[in-house]
A = this chain, B = another copy of it.
Amino acid sequence: MHHLILLLFFSLLTVTTTLTSPESHHLLLPSSRKLRQHDTLYCDSWRFTVETNDAGSWSTIPSICFDFVKDYVTGDRYFSDSKLVGGNSLEFANSINVSGDGKDAWIFDVDETLLFNLPYYQDHGFGSEVFDEKAFDEWMLLGEGIVLPASLSLYKELQQLGFTIFILTGRSESFRNATETNLRNVGYDNWKKLILRGPDDKHKLAVDYKSERRKALEDGGYRIRGNFGDQWSDLVGYAIAQRSFKLPNPMYYIA
């Protein structure tokens, strides 16, 4: 019986190691395994504080959460989470009596919302490196952001329902062409307006710039029904949408 228990224990250890650490070239000792479980508990809680905005401003992910964040954004969880947020949005959209005047508006953010910059973050430590503006500028010009399926699906459904789509991004005007091309290449089209930061917006906080632009839409007679973004600064401030939808993003924070 003791042999069986020992065998079970080491079997579990081996299989667990294989499952949770595909890149590890050595067997984890039991103490490391315990540490890893502890890290996962911590990182799950850290992600809670980030996604609820409890954490406030932060610059890089905790170093012990590198594998956790990597597994989250490259595995099933990111897609599952965003799919359910898309479902919440569509359920709300279906409850709206869309008017024929074209004034029922829906706002989408770009980065980590319509487009997913996974290839960039795979090369830049999944949020473990301090944001490198120059490198990200070069990445944006490539126009190789990939599609977030939950966003594309929602986008198309909202158009079917008659909503007018605005895209409101923190990217600057100099990236208009690259951004438009990227959006069209992965399947988005027929937006009413793509709003980017102009020269006057350069030093504004995202939350201020985005609130101002939403206010201008309201002043233009639009009813902002929904707002869909990965940052709280996409969603809060003033001229807030009737319902706001927070997509996951454990890689970076924008104020």
Q: Is the CB of A52 within 8 A of B11?
A: no
A42 at the interface (CB under 8 A from B): yes
- Interface residue total, chain A, C-beta cutoff 8 A: 33
A119 at the interface (CB under 8 A from B): no
Q: What is the interface of chain A, defined by CB distance below 8 A to chain B?
A: 7-8, 11-12, 14-15, 41-42, 44-46, 48-49, 51-56, 76-77, 80-81, 83-85, 88-89, 92, 243, 245-246, 248
CA distance A15 to B6 in the complex (A): 12
Q: Is the CB of B8 within 8 A of A45?
A: no
Q: Is the CB of B49 within 8 A of A52?
A: no
Q: Is the CB of B49 within 8 A of A51?
A: no
Q: Is the CB of A84 within 8 A of B48?
A: yes
CA distance A55 to B11 in the complex (A): 41
Neighbouring B residues of A245 by C-beta, 8 Å:
54
CA distance A102 to B203 in the complex (A): 37
Question: Provided the pairs A54-B245, A56-B92, A246-B54 are in contact, do residues A84 and B45 lie with their beta carbons within 8 angstroms?
Answer: yes
Q: Is the CB of B49 within 8 A of A88?
A: yes
Chain B: minimal CB distance from A135 (Å): 29
Closest B residue to A37 by CB, please name it.
B76
Neighbouring B residues of A76 by C-beta, 8 Å:
41
CA distance A185 to B85 in the complex (A): 41
CA distance A56 to B49 in the complex (A): 19
Neighbouring B residues of A88 by C-beta, 8 Å:
49, 54-56
A-B contact pairs, 19 of them (CB 8 A): A7-B7, A8-B11, A11-B12, A12-B12, A41-B76, A41-B77, A41-B80, A42-B80, A45-B80, A45-B84, A48-B81, A51-B51, A51-B52, A52-B52, A54-B85, A54-B88, A54-B246, A56-B88, A56-B92
